Amino acid sequence: MRYESTCTGLAGEIIGFEALGMDVAPLACAERKPSAQRYLKHQFGNRFLHGFTDNAAFVAGHGECFLHGRDCPCPAMRPDISIHGLPCQAYSWMRQRSGSTKNTGQVWQHPGHEEVFEVFHSYLRERQPLGWIVEEVPALAQPDKRTGIPFLQSFLRKCRSLGYCVVVLQMDHVVWVEMSRKRLWMIGFSEELGHKQAADAFLQIVHESEKFRELGEPTQIWNIVSPNSDAEMARQQYEESGGAHGQGVPGKDLFILYLRYNLNTNRTYLFCI
Ligand SMILES: [Zn+2]
């Protein structure tokens, strides 16, 4: 399975795929954070063909490569699957939105928004992966103040215009860890992969796997999100955030703990939650 990735992070999915017995052939990845680049080079440096420092390299056809320390070309092969941990800062309720800089201003002014709405869709157009997976925060469902249309809807519309049938799932990671952490998972199926038929079969597998967990009663892990639930999800997300920046935000205590560790030890701790 030819696998590619942007906003790669630590590429943990490779370990997951291989644990399922799949044969993974990594093509290229893209990651901006130097700490993650160092990890990728150490862990998967002999497997990825190239590791770009910017997602835009896939659109440009070449870019700076942190694996080889020079400008490298994009692999000519089409990926079977691509995985994208796209930035969430633009949509996060944790972020100040009333400032005058790009990072503190409105959603559409934040550089992360362009990464989600321009660079990602350009990636799909250029690379045409057979299938893809994107992770985002549920706050993507908040309405764009300029138009009233939820960002999620506009995002999906762009994916569909590029020929993909998209399934949207929501999962609360409290299933795995003792902390509520809701995330959206968008999964795209190309015509060649079976489009809607493949998407329906995928959802069937999700239902079946929820029915037959090894321990205990059937557990609902995934919540399938319909386009009509966008507004309701946005409202819920806002209420859960306490309705204001930095007030009663779930996980805030953990965040403070993280900072305290940093100050005392002068080290960066990575929480894989
Ligand atoms: Zn390279």
Question: Comparing C-alpha atoms, which of 173, 181, 178 is closest to residue 221?
Answer: 173
Q: How far apart are CA 184 and CA 168, in angstroms?
A: 7
Residue 260 maps to a domain: no
Residue 172 burial by CB count (10 A; 0-12/13-18/19+): exposed, middle or buried? middle
Residue 202 burial by CB count (10 A; 0-12/13-18/19+): exposed, middle or buried? middle
Gap from CA of 48 to ligand 1 centroid (Å):
9
Cβ neighbours of residue 263 under 8 Å, at least 6 residues apart? none
Residue 257 maps to a domain: no
Residue 252 maps to a domain: no
Count of domains observed in the chain:
1
Gap from CA of 271 to ligand 1 centroid (Å):
29
Write out the chain's pLDDT in tens, 273 residues: 999 999 999 998 898 888 888 899 999 999 999 999 999 999 999 999 999 999 999 999 999 999 999 999 999 999 999 999 998 888 887 776 778 888 888 888 888 899 899 999 999 999 999 999 999 988 888 888 899 888 999 999 999 999 999 999 888 877 666 777 888 999 999 999 999 999 999 888 887 777 765 555 656 666 666 544 555 555 565 555 443 333 333 433 333 333 333 344 444 333 332
Gap from CA of 22 to ligand 1 centroid (Å):
25
Gap from CA of 32 to ligand 1 centroid (Å):
15
Q: How far apart are CA 194 and CA 131, in angstroms?
A: 10
CATH code of the domain in which 44 resides: 3.40.50.150
Gap from CA of 192 to ligand 1 centroid (Å):
29
Q: Residue 60 is part of which domain span? A: 2-246
Residue 132 maps to a domain: yes
Residue 255 maps to a domain: no
Residue 222 maps to a domain: yes
**pLDDT tens for each residue of 202-255:** 888 887 777 765 555 656 666 666 544 555 555 565 555 443 333 333 433 333
pTM more than 0.75 = yes
Gap from CA of 49 to ligand 1 centroid (Å):
6
Per-residue HEC secondary structure of 152-168 comes to: HHHHHHHHHHCCCEEEE
Residue 273 maps to a domain: no
**pLDDT tens for each residue of 19-30:** 888 899 999 999
Gap from CA of 64 to ligand 1 centroid (Å):
8
Gap from CA of 51 to ligand 1 centroid (Å):
6
Q: How many alpha carbons fall within 13 Å on the CB side of residue 25?
A: 7
